Structure 1
């Protein structure tokens, strides 16, 4: 067992000790406390065994996702509880040191734990506990249609009001509810957009994950100006150990074919001109380019034949590509559509007022619309889910973007 894993389990053990102290304060019955201890030990053993037996030749499975969900459900609330009790311990320690310094011996150096502090800790811990349950049962399929209007002074007049539906990060290997996925496909079709764009990650790793869902995704209507896609980082099969390079290559070819099987035209560092009544815009599809992930995207190759004055829409899975390369490119890439972050599948959003997720500490552009010097990127929050089998606060997204000619009206 590696040092990091041992350190991780040691931290969890400390958290368990604190949680036990809180429950001991509140549980009056001996057998209730024994029951809590037995359940905690069994859960700890199951989670530890599952983590240590993870098979990198297989990758993520329904069982590993269940384990991740269970681990978060068990330990995130207990971490909150441990932090509250640790804060009380610091108060008890400082108070004891102060009393010792002034010669006050009326109380023991460390006073007894206070029941109300444990109650406060348990109350705070209940918030993530029930939120995570919601995320794994309802949130992961709570699809939201998010509409965004973006103004461009140099948009060709014929494309004023042009509507694009974007989906991203399907991660079909995680799905377990055909009825909910079918409902989401109906939502996509109901938007009646002019074009549909899919910005990568059709699977977690293996092409076969998508096979049960092909007929469902084939139901996505082909609008007047087509359905296009690019690859995401998971589509390259990078996150498992393959027996041979040929096996990996065959899987990659099969994944690329999946996009065609659901009638999306896959753009591999190439472009297409979308024409409407004698005017045109350029659609540029870049392979994955991530600051911390696989870099096979080539914007120069993908833009071959596209002129400086052409209006350009780029599909690039990872928003860090926009942040590091595209937003200040002199070729002026007007709009980039990305995904990848999932908004960490956990956060708080109050539309128009407040948006927070741990994702923002990794990606400056992590959900929604961002702009630099008239160059925009829209980051889709993802259609599916990965690792944690749920979504809390950051819901699965179907984006509808309307292009408007002119300046934005304040």
Structure 2
């Protein structure tokens, strides 16, 4: 209860402070009241969804996600506005002190706020505020197909120009628009890749979230099949289960769902893909993540049935596994496919110019292709979304990677 009181108090203080910019910039009282009503509505909805409306315990459902998203948008507007107001208030305070000390007046009086500065503050604050709302309305379904060509000297000739489609982080429990997901599934199939690889987090919390989408994702096709691994959200670790048996049953249900959809789920296992007399080793590990995430991945077990000299593609959900374990392993993993970061669903990307997201402060390898010690990783930005129910600048991704053998056309 105390944390709610503190949170409400801080939110109201911030709202009152940022209201001063609106009062300075606008002469119409209805604008002030509209801002206060919006702020209280956002706060009230957030409190309701995470207390009285919280019938699902720790499960982050769609109503909670939207309540969180609107709160983030409102707080962003207020924080940016407050930065301008606070800077001006420091200037106003010093001006009043100088006037009181060296001027003829004996009274301490703050100069009036400057209207143009309040308008600038509101204008700048409106940009991320609008972007966050746009991300919730359209950005989360702004699917992009990103294509890469990767060359290898030791790629078996039969796999020259072999095409891989990677998807990751479906998070089906967040979906709220079937037509958009139908479009995205069609877009995946249009790539006509040789194989489809899914790198974890099919659900947010429970297997049941995938049931309404099972028929749709069952239509994904590739001539060499569909393969998958588990991500940290697939284990049901973020739900308060009544018994360990219910949690285990949920995981088995998700595994069965993947099988019914035509995915070959690799649980610290490997498979060989064949092209004539050539073969390629596909390795899949369970989730292994740094910083408190589940470490069920067993790389040694996963490669126990393949040869050290095989050309290897590793599926590992969390890119910290590649950084901490894979690239230093005695085996050479030519290409690793990961996801997990979502690119934080927020950032700025201008191909060839800028690629930035706050998630870079947590993950060194957070989006796109990286190379270390002659080994590649692709960190997929994710198909779905979680927490904040939108995307700004970091769009949902379908990756197509073409393998090429150096020296061949």
1:105 and 1:40, CA in 2 relative to 1: closer, same or farther beyond 3 A? farther
1:165 is matched with 165
The CA deviation at 1:264 is 0.7
1:317 is matched with 317
1:98 and 1:153, CA in 2 relative to 1: closer, same or farther beyond 3 A? farther
8 Å CA contact 1:267–1:285 kept in 2: the answer is yes
Q: Deviations over 1:30-74 (max 9, x none)?
A: 344234323323332332333344456350112101101211222
Cα distance in 1 for residues equivalent to 2:273 and 2:295? 27
Cα distance in 1 for residues equivalent to 2:393 and 2:50? 26
1:72-87 aligned at under 5 Å gives the runs 72-87=72-87
1:244 and 1:35, CA in 2 relative to 1: closer, same or farther beyond 3 A? same
1:389-408 aligned at under 5 Å gives the runs 389-406=389-406
1:263-302 aligned at under 5 Å gives the runs 263-292=262-291, 293-302=293-302
Tell me the TM-score normalised to structure 1 length. 0.94
1:341 is matched with 341
8 Å CA contact 1:57–1:242 kept in 2: the answer is no
Secondary structure at the counterpart of residue 355 of structure 2: strand
1:177 is matched with 177
2:225 is matched with 226
2:201 is matched with 201
Q: Confirm or deny that 1:245 pairs with 2:244.
A: yes
Cα distance in 1 for residues equivalent to 2:208 and 2:226? 22
8 Å CA contact 2:25–2:116 kept in 1: the answer is no
8 Å CA contact 1:151–1:407 kept in 2: the answer is no
Q: Confirm or deny that 1:190 pairs with 2:190.
A: yes
Tell me the TM-score normalised to structure 2 length. 0.94
1:96 and 1:167, CA in 2 relative to 1: closer, same or farther beyond 3 A? same
The CA deviation at 1:281 is 1.3
Cα distance in 2 for residues equivalent to 1:98 and 1:310? 77
8 Å CA contact 1:342–1:381 kept in 2: the answer is yes
Secondary structure at the counterpart of residue 325 of structure 2: helix
The CA deviation at 1:145 is 0.4
8 Å CA contact 1:152–1:407 kept in 2: the answer is no
Q: Deviations over 1:207-244 (max 9, x none)?
A: 111111111111111x2222100000100001110111
Cα distance in 2 for residues equivalent to 1:75 and 1:197? 38
Cα distance in 2 for residues equivalent to 1:234 and 1:311? 30
1:52 and 1:86, CA in 2 relative to 1: closer, same or farther beyond 3 A? farther
**Which of 48-57 and 292-301 deviates more?**
48-57
Q: Confirm or deny that 1:154 pairs with 2:165.
A: no
Q: Which runs of 5 or more residues in structure 2 are unaligned?
A: none
Q: Confirm or deny that 1:25 pairs with 2:24.
A: yes
Cα distance in 1 for residues equivalent to 2:110 and 2:62? 47
1:41 and 1:270, CA in 2 relative to 1: closer, same or farther beyond 3 A? same
8 Å CA contact 1:143–1:184 kept in 2: the answer is yes
1:14-53 aligned at under 5 Å gives the runs 14-53=13-52
Cα distance in 2 for residues equivalent to 1:239 and 1:225? 34
The CA deviation at 1:258 is 1.6
1:376 and 1:177, CA in 2 relative to 1: closer, same or farther beyond 3 A? same
Query: Alignment length, in residue pairs?
Result: 406
Cα distance in 2 for residues equivalent to 1:280 and 1:98? 80
Cα distance in 1 for residues equivalent to 2:131 and 2:295? 36
How large is the Cα RMSD of the aligned pairs? 2.0
The CA deviation at 1:366 is 0.7
Cα distance in 1 for residues equivalent to 2:225 and 2:90? 62
Q: Deviations over 1:167-196 (max 9, x none)?
A: 000011111111111111111111111111
Secondary structure at the counterpart of residue 122 of structure 2: helix
Cα distance in 2 for residues equivalent to 1:321 and 1:56? 32
Q: Deviations over 1:88-117 (max 9, x none)?
A: 22222344455556x245695532211111
Cα distance in 2 for residues equivalent to 1:104 and 1:333? 74
Q: Which runs of 4+ in 1 moved over 6 A?
A: none
The CA deviation at 1:13 is 2.7
Q: Deviations over 1:124-157 (max 9, x none)?
A: 0110121112111111111100001111122112
8 Å CA contact 1:272–1:284 kept in 2: the answer is yes
